[in-house]
Structure 1
Amino acid sequence: MLKEKGREMEGIGQHHSTTHAQRVRGHSLVQGLYMLLGQRCPTAPRLYRQQAVCTREQVPFQSKIDLMIQTIQHFEPTPGTLTHVLLDSW
């Protein structure tokens, strides 16, 4: 998520943008999508902070994989359904 003017925003970092084919200043979000009976239900997005940003902001670093593991561990599927997990690789 490109942030051209956001220099002092929390969690701002330099992330690769496939749209711009270069690194840009912005935010990177980790999010899941739950599908049930043809309905798409996105999970709450989680802000990914690069390790240097975490050091600067004095917060614990969590990788994108760590954030997704937590999302999966805290997910509560609808009773009586089978849940399959499909992850994109970075």
Structure 2
Amino acid sequence: AAEPVFGSALVPATGLAPRLAVLGYPTAGSPTAVLEACAGRPEHDRGGQTSLPCALGTGAAGSPVLTAAGEQRAVVARPSAGRGVLLASWGADA
């Protein structure tokens, strides 16, 4: 069951994956966002950036997300094809 984060209940991510990296986003997120579940695990590069090797669907930019590890993050960009999406710590300036 999705647990409340960011002060509101989670909308579960759509799609099936054996190990979800992204569980969902709060109902306060973008009403047009379509957040897709993915099996990829968050990756950390040398520059300290965190990314997910998957697509999060349309309208996900700016949406807060909760990873399977319990990390609260915000989607800040979809850097380029094949690189997935870039995440920032929740509350950090984008």
Q: TM-score, normalised by structure 1?
A: 0.25
Higher RCO (CA 8 Å, separation ≥ 6 residues): 2
Indicate the structure (1 or 2) with the bigger Cα radius of gyration.
1
